[in-house]
Structure 1
Amino acid sequence: MHKYITYFILLLFFGCKTPEARRPITSKSGSFINESIARNKALNAKETAIIEKIMQESNQNYIASESGFWYYYNTKTESDTLFTAQFGDIVNYNYNVKALNGNVIYSKDDTKTQNYAMDKEELFTGLREGLKLMKSGETVTFLFPSQKAYGYYGDENKIGTNVPLICEVTVNSITKSQN
């Protein structure tokens, strides 16, 4: 009987030790991430240089947004009674999409009139941020680097990987949210 008690105590002692973490067979350095950062910085610098050249060659007064794109007003509304869209507001707008060389990718007929619930629906980053700057009745031309447009994946249709875009957007109306 004493032998069974000793065996049971040893089993409890060795069976209750904390599990040891398994070590990885191989360890990876941060080289992939560092290479990706370097590629993205180079791509951004290249796109920015092209966009800056376009801005220099045009007669427009471009504004640099805090969000990382550039724009100018085709039609600007100076009225103090109009407002910009806030979270949940419904923005009715039309837009077209062009490549930086001016070739139309999607015309206003292709994209049709859109209704967008501000920050409640999916929309590419640049256009979402651009709509926040606009009042009803305004038309703005935006220059979006690829990371503010459709980025690495494109739109899986006509817009490919890492394509910077020009979008001309007209806000028809902004309906305040009832919340």
Structure 2
Amino acid sequence: MIRPIIILLLLINVVSCKSPEARRPISQKTGSFINASVERNKKLNKKEQDIIQGIIKNDTLNKYLPSESGFWYYYNVKVEQDTITAKFGDIVNFDYNVKDFNKSVIYSDEDIKPQDYSMDKEELFTGLREGLKLMKPGETVTFLFPSQKAYGYYGDTNRIGTNTPLICEVTVNSITKTQND
């Protein structure tokens, strides 16, 4: 009688010493939303790059330059002698206008007014911030920004809609260097 009880206790002991198993979630995410979003963005970027290349091809008067950041630009007015460009914290006084790729004005110079911008310390859409770093005082540059370098998915919640590529003509009036140099 004691022997079957001992065997039963040993068997219970062996079965109960099993290591705990991780619990599986009830539902598993596959990442399909992210994958679909990536594909949509790739198609949108390709479409916008094709439009930009068409604009460049049709504009034989200007020499467009590619930026390292993914936008295109040309100089309306280029300053050769001055080598000063804006660095972190410098105050850039500039004015600009904003058009869509059909060259319809979204914001004119008068709508925006000249602005003072503390380089990389204030909010400004990515393309314009990177474009200002390329410019010298007195220069006027026209930029072609794909939507991801402009206001992206959200637009500006006013006149610029979602995923809208932009043309901006920017004039840098002055650059005031800060003491950090």
Which structure 1 residue ranges, 5 or more long, are not aligned?
Answer: 1-18
Q: For 1:103 and 1:20, locate their aligned partners in 2 and report how far apart those are by CA, in whole Å.
A: 63
Equivalent residues of 1:88, 1:119 under 8 A apart: yes
Q: For 1:132 and 1:170, locate their aligned partners in 2 and report how far apart those are by CA, in whole Å.
A: 12
- What percent of counterpart residues are identical? 72
Judging changes above 3 Å, is the alpha-carbon distance between structure 1 residues 20 and 117 closer, same or farther for their aligned structure 2 residues?
A: farther
Residue in 1 that maps onto 2:76: 74
Q: For 1:108 and 1:22, locate their aligned partners in 2 and report how far apart those are by CA, in whole Å.
A: 61
Q: For 1:111 and 1:21, locate their aligned partners in 2 and report how far apart those are by CA, in whole Å.
A: 58
Equivalent residues of 1:77, 1:135 under 8 A apart: yes
Residue in 1 that maps onto 2:25: 24
Q: For 1:177 and 1:23, locate their aligned partners in 2 and report how far apart those are by CA, in whole Å.
A: 56
1:119 aligns with 2:120: yes
**Which deviations, in whole Å up to 9, do the C-alpha atoms of 1:2-53 show, x marking residues without a partner?**
xxxxxxxxxxxxxxxxx98654220111211111110000000001111110
Runs of 4+ in 1 over 6 A off after TM superposition: none
Secondary structure at the counterpart of residue 36 of structure 1? helix
Residue in 1 that maps onto 2:100: 99
Equivalent residues of 1:95, 1:108 under 8 A apart: yes
Q: For 1:62 and 1:20, locate their aligned partners in 2 and report how far apart those are by CA, in whole Å.
A: 61
Equivalent residues of 1:97, 1:167 under 8 A apart: yes
Judging changes above 3 Å, is the alpha-carbon distance between structure 1 residues 26 and 172 closer, same or farther for their aligned structure 2 residues?
A: same
How many correspondences in the alignment?
160
Residue in 2 that maps onto 1:52: 53
Q: For 2:68 and 2:25, locate their aligned partners in 1 and report how far apart those are by CA, in whole Å.
A: 42
Does 50-59 or 155-164 show the bigger shift?
50-59
Residue in 2 that maps onto 1:149: 150
Secondary structure at the counterpart of residue 156 of structure 2? coil
Which structure 2 residue ranges, 5 or more long, are not aligned?
Answer: 1-19
- Structure 1 or 2, whichever has the larger Rg, is 2
**Which deviations, in whole Å up to 9, do the C-alpha atoms of 1:81-128 show, x marking residues without a partner?**
431100000000000000000000000000000000000000000000
Judging changes above 3 Å, is the alpha-carbon distance between structure 1 residues 132 and 23 closer, same or farther for their aligned structure 2 residues?
A: same
1:108 aligns with 2:109: yes
Task: Give the TM-score taking structure 1 as reference length.
Answer: 0.86
Q: For 1:20 and 1:89, locate their aligned partners in 2 and report how far apart those are by CA, in whole Å.
A: 58
**Which deviations, in whole Å up to 9, do the C-alpha atoms of 1:41-66 show, x marking residues without a partner?**
00000011111101111121000000
1:167 aligns with 2:162: no
Q: One-letter code of the match for 1:107?
A: S
